Structure 1
Amino acid sequence: MKWLSSYHQDLELAFAEAASILEALPVTHRQPALEFLDKFHPLKEERSKNYICYLLPLWMHELTGVPLHKCREFAVANIFGMLYYQIIDAVMDDRDQASTSMLPLAEFIHLEFIHKYSHSFPATSSLWDYYRKYVAEWAQAVSTENSSDFFYENPVRMGHKASPVKLSIIAPLLLSHREELIPELEEAVDTVLITLQMLDDWQDWEKDLLEGNYNSLVSMVQTECEIPKDRRPTSEEINQAIYVRGLLSTYANRANILHVKLSKIQTIVPHLYDFHASLHNNIVIGAQHHESERNLLLQGGLNYYLSKIPKNS
């Protein structure tokens, strides 16, 4: 995975710089901030891997010729942006005391996000117009996802929940005077974010079903199985759709379409394309595994049992 391995050192430096900035926070916020940052370190085990947030500006280096240290500065900015929106999303989802107590920290973090980009872009720069656009996309997505069916009605809205990450393609494109690429790369990042959300939805459908959150896999089961709109599918209905009807193959087909759509940027930002290929493969291979399990079950319990016996037994 060269889209990751080529940037190990840059990620270490970016997270170290982010940590040094957070160490300067008021003492009451310093340790919680550092602990929160550590939860997302991409090179440590058992951490949340929000790769696109901090790798996207680094992937833009080769295309734009913007110095790597400047792209790394944007990566640090994106780390702060990611932390900020993680806190805001948690407050919107949970509204418990633990989440709301992080709101003062969120303001400090957001200041650092703005400050990093301000090093290169004054208040009059068009970069801030793009940021307002992306915040509006994010706000629209998070405020309407439970009253809309994004997966069928407007899939790009699924990706817009992470829309502010696109600021890190705008920054190097503006610095390199390559503004003509902005629409194409905005669309490409939106496409990647849709697939990323689909993968998250597959992994989190049980949690989302329990908590009443929108989920694209749950939506697909609801539509394909013709379940009345006045209720959500049950856990049993979703498992039946996956293991009996093989609906994950339909889900994977949607990821196939997105990957084909992205092929036009393969030579422009190859690491972005390769990152999407890894997301796409996870969905396709997972669907194929479930399809194999389903076929064995349909053939009968003995075949399924025999398939589980170690080959050297």
Structure 2
Amino acid sequence: MNWFTSFEKELETAFSDAEKILSGMPEAFRGQAAAYLDRFHALKRGVSQNYICYLLPFWLQEAAGTKTEDSRRLTVAMIFVMMYYHLIDEVMDDPEAADKRKLPLANLIQLEFLHIYGSYFPAASPFWGYFRKYAAEWAEAVAFEHESDFFQEDPVRVAHKAAPVKLSVAGALLLTGRKTRIPALEAAVDTVLVTLQMLDDWEDWEKDLREGSYNCLISDVQRELQIPRDRRPTPEEIREALYVRDILLTYAERTDQHTAALASAAPGLVHLREFHEHLRLNLKQGALDLRQQRNLLISGGLEYWLSKNKSLT
């Protein structure tokens, strides 16, 4: 995991910087802000690991020619961007929640990333055009994912739920006068974000089915089983598709195309490509594990039990 270990010290500094900035918030929000930051700390176990959010400025450093200090500040900004959008998502998902401080906290955090970006990019900078573009992509993705089947019709829109991550692309390349490279690297990041969402959706399909959330794997099952759009697959239908039809394997194989697209769009972004390979292999391993479980069950219950209890044999 060179894509992670090579930047651990820089990440530690970035999170420390973010913590110091949040400590300057109004006292009524400091504790909540610090606790929320702690939930996403990249170097702590058992927390959400939004690696691409934190690491992309460092992965871009060689291609963009940015200084380490600038990459670190862009990372701090992205930490705040990530916190802001997560808070907004939580409010949207549960508007009746008892905690009414989330939206005010989100606005205070927004001031912090706007301050960082504003220190680099004046009002007339093209950066703010990209800022509006990514915000619009996010807004359309979260507002209309239930009205369209993004994964089947236009897969890049699956990535747009995390479109603000691309602020690091625009920021790094505009800082060094390499604006012409932005479209190719935007496309590369979108490609990785689609694969990341596919992996998340495999891990979360039961939760998403229960909560009625859009899910790429569920979409694939719906298409494979030719289930009408007016209803979703049942848990039993999804398990049949997974264990009998090997749908997870064909689902995972779609990421092979993403690998080829990355090699074409971003041959120099070694760490981004390594991260994508990490995601791709995790998804494929999940598919192979399911196939192995099925084959063991077919060959006999005793053999399956022994495979699950190797330490006893």
TM range (shorter): over 0.9
| Conserved? CA contact 1:87–1:99, under 8 Å | no
Task: Decide whether the 8 Å contact of 1:66 with 1:175 is kept in 2.
Answer: yes
The answer to whether residue 106 in structure 2 is matched with residue 106 in structure 1 is yes
CA change 1:82–1:144 in 2 (3 A) is: same
Which shows bigger deviation, 253-262 or 7-16?
A: 253-262
Structural mapping, 1:123-162, within 5 Å: 123-162=123-162
Return 294-303 or 196-205, whichever deviates more: 294-303
- Confirm or deny that 1:236 pairs with 2:227: no
Q: Is the 8 A contact 2:87 2:103 kept in 1?
A: yes
The answer on whether the counterparts of 1:84 and 1:106 sit within 8 Å (CA) in structure 2 is yes
1: distance between equivalents of 2:168 and 2:209?
33
8 Å contact from structure 1 (residues 137, 161) kept in 2: yes
> RMSD over aligned Cα, in angstroms?
1.4
Alignment of 1:139-288 (within 5 A): 139-265=139-265, 267-288=267-288
User: Are positions 1:27 and 2:34 aligned together?
Assistant: no
Helix, strand or coil at the partner of 1:124: coil
Residue pair 2:57, 2:74 contacting (<8 A) in 1 also: yes
| CA distance, structure 2, for counterparts of residue 232 and residue 3 of structure 1 | 38
For residues 40 and 306 of structure 2, the distance between their equivalents in structure 1, rounded to whole angstroms, comes to: 41
Any gaps of 5 or more consecutive residues in structure 1? none
The letter for the 2-side match of 1:285 is: Q
Measured against aligned partners, the alpha-carbon deviations of 1:82-104 in whole angstroms (never above 9, x if no partner) come to: 00000011111121324543000
**Mean CA deviation greater in 198-207 or 261-270:** 261-270
In structure 1, give the amino acid aligned to 2:34: L
Read off the aligned partner of 1:89 and give its amino acid letter.
D
Aligned partners of 2:3, 2:99: CA distance in 1, in Å?
A: 33
Match of 2:4 in 1: 4
One-letter amino acid of the structure 2 residue matched with residue 137 of structure 1: E
CA-CA distance at 1:110 after TM superposition = 0.4
Mapped to 1, the partners of 2:229 and 2:265 lie a distance apart of: 38
State the shift of 1:34 in Å. Answer: 0.2
Name 2:49's counterpart in structure 1.
Answer: 49
Separation (CA, whole Å) in 2 of partners of 1:266 and 1:274: 12
CA contact (8 A) 1:90 1:99 kept: no
Q: CA deviation at 1:263?
A: 1.6
Contact conserved, 1:91 with 1:99, CA < 8 A, in 2? no
**Counterpart residue type for residue 47 of structure 1:** V
For 1:171 and 1:231, locate their aligned partners in 2 and report how far apart those are by CA, in whole Å. 42
Aligned-partner Cα distance in 2 for 1:18–1:33: 10
2:289 alignment partner in structure 1: 289
- Judged with a 3 Å threshold, the aligned counterparts in structure 2 of structure 1 residues 225 and 100 are, in CA distance, closer, same or farther, namely farther
Assess if the C-alpha contact under 8 Å between 1:41 and 1:48 holds in 2.
yes
After TM superposition, give the deviation of residue 299 of structure 1 in Å: 2.8
CA offsets 1:180-212 (integer angstroms, 9 cap, x no match)? 211110100000010111111111111111111
* Residue number in structure 2 paired with 1:60: 60
Give the match for residue 69 of structure 1.
Answer: 69
> Structure 1 residue 61: deviation in Å?
1.3
CA contact (8 A) 2:184 2:266 kept: no
What residue in structure 2 maps to residue 122 of structure 1?
A: 122
Cα distance in structure 2, aligned partners of 1:99 and 1:90: 11
C-alpha distance after superposition, 1:228-272 (max 9, x if no partner): 222111111111211122111111111222122212255311111
* Paired residues of 2:188 and 2:266 also in contact (CA < 8 A): no
Query: How many pairs were matched up?
Result: 313
Where do 4+ consecutive residues of structure 1 move more than 6 Å?
A: none
CA separation of 1:159/1:244 partners in 2, compared to 1, >3 Å: closer, same or farther?
same
Letter in 2 for 1:38: D
Alignment CA distance shift 1:262-1:99 (3 Å): farther
Structure 1 CA distance for aligned equivalents of residues 282 and 213 of structure 2 = 23
